[in-house]
Amino acid sequence: MEALRITLDLYDAPLVRQIAETLEFSEADLKAPKSTLIKRLLVEIPRRAASREFIQALSEADRGILALVLDRGGQIAAGDLVGTLITTGLLSPTKPTDEETTISSRLEALLRPLLLRGLLVNLTPPLDYQTRRHLQPVYEVGIAPEVASVLPRALLEVPQPDVQRFTIVPPAQVASGDPEMLVRQLFFVWSGLLRNPARQLKSGSIARADLRRLARELNMDLETQADVLHDMIALLLSARLLRFEGGNVVAADDERVQRFWQQDAGAQYRELFNAFLNVESSPAIETTMLYRLYGYGYGSYQINSYKALNQQLMAAVRPLIDVPWFSFDTLLLLLSRGKPGSFALPANLLHVMEEQLRRSMIGSGNKSLVSKMTRDLQDLDATTAVELLSHWQWLGVVDMGYQEGQSAPWAIRLTPLGRAIFRQEAFAFNGGAGQVILQPDFQLLALGPVPLGTLEGIERFADRETVQPATVGYRLTRSSIYRALQKGTSIGVICGFLRQVTQQPLPQNVERTLEEWGAQHERIMVRRNVVVLQTDTTAPLDALLADPVLQPWLQRLDEHTAVADTRYTQQIQDRLWHLELLPAVSRGPEADLSHSLIWDEGRLLPRLTPPSLYVTGIVQRFAAPEAPGWRLTAASVREAINTGYSVPDLIAQIERLTGASLPPEWQQRLKAWGSHYGSANLLQAHLLRLESAALLAEVREVDRQLSRWLHPLTPQSDVAIIDERNWEAAVARLTELGVHIEEGRWW
């Protein structure tokens, strides 16, 4: 913050005399040179500022403004001051009707008494070719250190927000989003691109044929909902659930993504909303008109990115969290902060545009172009705000209200989900567990709000046929099962998963057919009557395959494995002995599994290298490969549970393989990963206690609504449970019945 002497010296001489006149300097003093007046003001302004009587005589608004500036460290931008003054009631948010009553001019009028007393100083740099500061415009103000140090702060109380004064009547029409359905649609887009990646065009967009396919899978009309589909893809890209790869848009499918879909819907939504807040692209809003009028060859104006716009909208809405409905015009004022265009356009572009316009008008005195630019920028801010709020409504954060016959929004309110986001509170959607039904005709129905983690598992081995708000239809086909088997899933895993999600035995014909399909697929790869030879590295196997004696018998499978017909087992062993190689011979699963591994804090290391195939076959069911052995992870344990393992069985298997007890902390970790303790239901509700059970029963008989809202704990109880959503309505109805309600504990 600059010293008072510097500020006064940067003012032009008429403004210095105006300050001296306001402080009641004599006529003779006012005729003194500027330097003499500044010397007097350097003494007089701090003296007046230190006077309790002088400060007490100021208006309540003046004292509030001084307190706000002091609270911000003694310096504040006019735009930031506008928002604070509006929310505290010191500056009216009434929409301006002409140039003389703009929010900027009213702010300048509000600050003028303090500026002319020297208690505030105008820190706005000189504009155009000027070298001195003036009383207008006001872009930044402050309190000089000499003044701030002597002000009686006990008289300067920071005004508190009075946001309830912004409450307006509910609108006639309300448009709302469905965030739970949105998350499901995003999942289906991700799953569709997981099966079939989309082709990326040179323009960066997705090929029309792929968009049609995705729209068809989601039961959407591409002609009318193409923008929605593009927005969903952009959101998934921002959330890193999709990525660009080799000229295609592909679905990410690593452990992070799988963990994301296994979360509850509330946690999934919070991550998706945070991803939207950080979208770097800009809204597709037409700015050619502004370029044509004010561009002067500087190119088309770029709207602020969604990330920058979201930050401004979050800051503007935060004080209005508890307002039931507030007007769109009030929100627009808070967004633009009294300076048209400051919401939609970057500050540097807005400054360049203003400077160009101001220079083009030097000497003309024509203000019509300025007025038109102000209106154009206000319209641009409004259009940008509507575009961004439409996305927030789509995400379920706000509801938008409209008056009859109007297409522009009139009122805004935060939804319960929106308030939870602003307060950083957990939020749970109101859905139940849903139900999965497998029918004998191989149709698989997901009814109701089936968790996306369950649908993610189904999508990997079933073909999706229909997507409806309450039902998703799948069908098990030979091709869908083959697709899953080719990615490493087994028929046992698929059947175990289906039993788990349906909580029923599989229809016999379905189970038998799945086993036949699995056998047909594996028959292509299964080799019968073979002996398997493994080496720990590639080089020894290369040498064995090059040996002239062994070469006719061995057939390579991979870098470390070869097979041979069992008829040559003895000849192969004899040749290995002759080469002075002592092979470890498998003696079957019972002998190979016990004491075959070493426990190392979540890692399972083989005692022999390479480990027995029986050991590998068992361990890979519940642990992820990590050289030189395997590692237990949350994902690998969940997959084992889905195949039919229980956590106690898993712990017993590990102890059998290692020959030692599993540490207690790891037993607990496996139980957590495997959901050993199951799930729980939590409901936030209110308890209502009447004077007797008879009175509670009578109240429920008198009013049908109360009968549905009040649920007695027991038939003879005087205590009832009320769902949180119905609490306010129930209290209002009970009050109408004359019930005096006191909040607090009675036990």
- Same domain for 373 and 439, yes or no, is no
**Residue 358 — very low, low, confident or very high, per pLDDT cuts 50/70/90?**
low
Residue 747 lies in a domain: no
Q: Which of 391, 422, 453 is the last residue of a domain?
A: 422
pLDDT of residue 610: 81
366-370, 464-468, 649-653, 728-732: range with lowest mean pLDDT: 366-370
pTM equals 0.63
Task: Give the phi and the psi of residue 552 in degrees, each rounded to 5.
Answer: -70, -20
- Same domain for 13 and 137, yes or no, is yes
**Cα(344)–Cα(309) distance, rounded to whole angstroms?**
7
- Same domain for 54 and 198, yes or no, is no
Q: Which of 451, 452, 426 is nearest to 684 (CA)?
A: 426
pLDDT of residue 294: 55
Q: What is the mean pLDDT of residues 31-41?
A: 91
What separation in angstroms does the CA of 511 have from each of 155, 502, 619? 82, 14, 26
- Same domain for 121 and 188, yes or no, is no
- Same domain for 251 and 308, yes or no, is no
pLDDT of residue 141: 92
pLDDT of residue 82: 84
Range of the domain at 405: 288-422
How is residue 261 written in tokens? 């879909």
Helices (H), 620-740: 634-642, 647-658, 664-673, 693-702, 704-709, 727-736
252-266, 278-292, 348-362, 717-731: range with lowest mean pLDDT: 348-362
pLDDT of residue 214: 92
| Residue in this structure with the two tokens 């007490």, named with its chain if needed | 56
Q: Which of 264, 267, 302 is nearest to 281 (CA)?
A: 302
Q: Which of 473, 505, 523 is the last residue of a domain?
A: 523
What CATH number has the domain bearing residue 388? 1.10.10
- Same domain for 246 and 206, yes or no, is yes
Q: What is the mean pLDDT of residues 400-409?
A: 90
Question: Are 597 and 657 contacting, i.e. CB atoms less than 8 angstroms apart?
Answer: yes
**Cα(246)–Cα(200) distance, rounded to whole angstroms?**
9
Q: Which of 463, 549, 445 is nearest to 501 (CA)?
A: 445
Residue 517 lies in a domain: yes
Residues in the chain: 747
**Cα(83)–Cα(161) distance, rounded to whole angstroms?**
10
| Residue in this structure with the two tokens 């569709």, named with its chain if needed | 192
How is residue 91 written in tokens? 């500056």
How is residue 130 written in tokens? 């000027």
How is residue 667 written in tokens? 């037993």
Residue 744 lies in a domain: no
How is residue 255 written in tokens? 């452990």
Q: Partners of 565 in the beta sheet? A: 530
Q: How many domains does the chain have?
A: 7
pLDDT of residue 357: 65
How is residue 738 written in tokens? 């004359």
Q: Which of 120, 137, 161 is the last residue of a domain?
A: 161
pLDDT of residue 528: 64
DSSP label of 136:
-
Q: Residues near 318 by Cβ (< 8 Å), separated by ≥ 6? A: 422
Residue 722 lies in a domain: yes
- Same domain for 412 and 440, yes or no, is no
| Residue in this structure with the two tokens 């292509």, named with its chain if needed | 524
pLDDT of residue 581: 85
Identify the H or E element spanning 257: helix 255-262
Higher pLDDT, 96 or 557: 557
Q: Which of 424, 432, 433, 429 is nearest to 266 (CA)?
A: 429
- Same domain for 122 and 186, yes or no, is no
Q: Which of 336, 348, 339 is nearest to 382 (CA)?
A: 336
Residue 746 lies in a domain: no
pLDDT per residue over 207-259, tens digit each? 999 999 999 988 888 888 999 999 999 999 999 999 999 899 999 988 899 88
**Residue 203 — very low, low, confident or very high, per pLDDT cuts 50/70/90?**
confident
**Residue 298 — very low, low, confident or very high, per pLDDT cuts 50/70/90?**
very low
- Same domain for 235 and 100, yes or no, is no
- Same domain for 187 and 310, yes or no, is no
- Same domain for 21 and 133, yes or no, is yes
Question: Are 354 and 376 contacting, i.e. CB atoms less than 8 angstroms apart?
Answer: no
**Cα(408)–Cα(410) distance, rounded to whole angstroms?**
6
| Residue in this structure with the two tokens 């930044």, named with its chain if needed | 140
Residue 743 lies in a domain: no
Q: What is the mean pLDDT of residues 657-679?
A: 88
Residue 39 lies in a domain: yes
**Pairing, β 411-414 against β 326-327:** antiparallel
- Same domain for 619 and 517, yes or no, is no
Q: What is the mean pLDDT of residues 52-79?
A: 91
pLDDT of residue 526: 55
Is 49's pLDDT higher than 90?
A: yes
Q: Which of 498, 404, 506 is nearest to 458 (CA)?
A: 498
**Residue 124 — very low, low, confident or very high, per pLDDT cuts 50/70/90?**
confident
Percentage of the residues of the chain whose pLDDT score is greater than 70: 93
